[in-house]
Amino acid sequence: MIQRRSIDEVLQATSIEDVIGEYISLKRRGANLLGRCPFHDEKTPSFTVSPAKGIYKCFGCGKAGNSVSFLMEHNHLSFTESIRMLAAKYGITLEEDEKYDTEEYNEQQRKREGLLLALDYATNFFKNQLKSEEGKAVADSYFRERGFSPQTIADFDLGYSPKSWTALTQSATEGRFNLDHFEAAGLIKKREDGTFFDLFRHRVIFPIHDLSGKVIAFGGRQLEKDDRSPKYLNSPETDVYHKSHVLYGIFQAKKEIRLQNQCYLVEGYTDVITLNQSEVKNVVASSGTSLTEGQIRLIKRFTDNVTILYDGDAAGIKASLRGIDLLLEKGLNVRTVSFPEGEDPDSYCKKLGSEDFKKFLTENESDFILFKANLLFDSIGNDPIRKAEAVGELLNSISLIPDGLKRATFARECSKLMDMDEKILLIEINKKRKGKSSTSSQSLPITEEVRSLLDTPTELPEKGSYSGGQEQEKNLVRLLIQSGEKKFMEDATVIDFIINELREDEALQIEHPLYKKIIEEVQHITEQYLADHEINENFFINHTDEEVRKLAADMLTEHYELSPAWAENDLFIKTEKENYVRDLQSLFLFLKKSKLEALIQHNLEELKTIEDNEEKIQECLNYHAELTSVRNSISEILGTVIS
């Protein structure tokens, strides 16, 4: 682990325009620099770099951060890797914490480096074997039969492992490599007599790359049927390869996924390679396994839109539906394309050709929920029990979607498809989200006053998860980052005022996780009088937490600049940051008002659920009157209009 003072030294030495200028062309515009964003496709430059603050911000896609964030995002590096890269660029020697400068830690690092070295050597060995007489006779012809061009074979580092039991072992031995690393990588195995033999034999080899392009594992396919060994042989889990966190083809696809803002998900290696060669480059494979949370997080780094390409096998589709629900639960937009029976993405792409295949994908995309509904209801006929089971399974999927508007939209579509009351479906969906299994009970008619409240056309948050004032919370943190060290009153800074107000009023608890974390950290520093933590813009820009860095870069970037004509006339125009005193004075009142409105909505939702209990109804009505009275008083002070 790099010591904090070394990290600070690197950050102080770093020139953000030098770092980003190595990747994109920047032109000066006033105090800032402007270029085309490397994170999304744009014709008009909107990527702004501020040398004075050491931050960047794209007003097209919203990406923001400092030099470290840029390298992490652009080169897919970790924080530590980015710091090491900058240290090397500026000739800075990094100091490590003593607890990481141990023999045990160094041994782990040596093992990891040895693994990657063995995997890299094996990759080149397999690629070279493809050019041998044996390789040309069997493996090269296998790839060419599948239509893979020499360029595609090179792009995916495809190779061949010979029939010999010791071809790789012997080559590594002659190269004076440590065979223990090859064994740890799952490439060779030791016999009882201490000698080694190859595990991949007479197979075409599909290397598996990580995000940075390093080979971390292999898949090998049989060239001759042999019941004694599996058709596909895959590398075991190692220190560098964790199957549940890897997608085949992600290295080749990541740029196009980001540009297209869409990811095609297939099952196998050849599906990925064939589609990539046919100019459908935003495609990855789960390699025959059910989707995992780690793989979904990997996709989500590049896009929220996933289209699953299914083989034309109904049984296989139904078996994989449960795993696909994870995509919905993580907030991704899921669409599907299914192929004619007996076809898969590989075969059908070859049959149609590149252009017609891309047209087929566009014309046959279906939303996953509606696709699942059709799939479930196709075979049930008029059986009411099976229909109820199918409805329940479908509503389970809808209930996983975190976005309330999307859930409501799907409920509406499914009500038409299933000829069922939309309100009933919404009630059942909410029950599933709340973990209830009891059937819905019908509320009794109540007073006209209550009925008028219940008929209010407003979208209410779910009980127990309501929140209020998120925009005010954001503005509070914005003022903290932009002006925290500035004087608010004679004997108090902006930070002092914010911390004191939040401490005095328990109702003003910050709910947004990131904003809450920032407030709590600042509170801890101020209360403990930590002298080595000066809370200013640089504290947030160079924070060790990537989320904090990005938020700070976003909030410290001026969204508007004065035109040269105004600036030349020496006119004094207050900027957004210079109005911090005025903003802070009213912000807490707005925050209290928002919290009250959230409580009013929450109380109204609770009122809707009450059955035949006049006492409880009256209690809610009294509380409603109290809340609205306080809310109205605050609104009068603020001079706002009450809707």
pLDDT tens column, 516-539: 888 888 887 776 655 455 777 888
Residue position matching structure tokens 């470290």:
68
d(CA 622, CA 607): 11
pLDDT tens column, 50-72: 887 888 988 888 888 889 889 88
Sequence-ordered list of residues with C-beta below 8 angstroms from that of 351, at least 6 positions apart, any chain:
343
Given a cut of 50, is residue 455 above it in pLDDT? no
Given a cut of 90, is residue 154 above it in pLDDT? yes
Confidence of residue 123 (pLDDT cuts 50, 70, 90): very high
Residue 2 DSSP code: B
pLDDT at position 529: 54
Given a cut of 80, is residue 319 above it in pLDDT? no
User: What residues are paired with 394 via a beta bridge?
Assistant: none
The residue among 60, 31, 28 whose CA lies nearest residue 43 is 60
Where helices occur in 419-575 by DSSP H, the ranges are 422-434, 448-454, 470-483, 494-504, 513-528, 537-541, 546-556, 564-568
State the average pLDDT for the chain. 79
Q: Pick the most confident of 156-165, 240-249, 318-327.
A: 156-165
Contact 48, 33 (CB under 8 A): yes
pLDDT at position 303: 84
Given a cut of 60, is residue 436 above it in pLDDT? no
Contact 302, 258 (CB under 8 A): yes
Sequence-ordered list of residues with C-beta below 8 angstroms from that of 125, at least 6 positions apart, any chain:
159, 168, 171, 172
d(CA 94, CA 97): 10
The residue among 66, 65, 68 whose CA lies nearest residue 85 is 68
pLDDT above 90 covers a percentage of the chain that reads 22
SS3 label, residue 71: helix
Ranking 206-210, 380-384, 477-481 by mean pLDDT, the lowest is: 380-384
Contact 200, 239 (CB under 8 A): no
Given a cut of 80, is residue 338 above it in pLDDT? yes
Sequence-ordered list of residues with C-beta below 8 angstroms from that of 490, at least 6 positions apart, any chain:
none
pLDDT at position 460: 33
Given a cut of 50, is residue 358 above it in pLDDT? yes
- In order, the DSSP letters of 95-151 are PBPGGGSSHHHHHHHHHHHHHHHHHHHHHHHHHHHTTSHHHIIIIIHHHHHTT--HH
Mean pLDDT of 303-331: 75
List the structure tokens of 380: 């049930």
Q: Pick the most confident of 268-282, 322-336, 629-643.
A: 268-282
Contact 368, 335 (CB under 8 A): yes
Secondary structure tally for the chain: helices H, strands E: 29, 18
Mean pLDDT of 90-117: 74
Element (DSSP H or E) covering residue 304: none
Q: How many CA atoms lie within 13 A of 568 on its CB side?
A: 3
pLDDT at position 449: 38
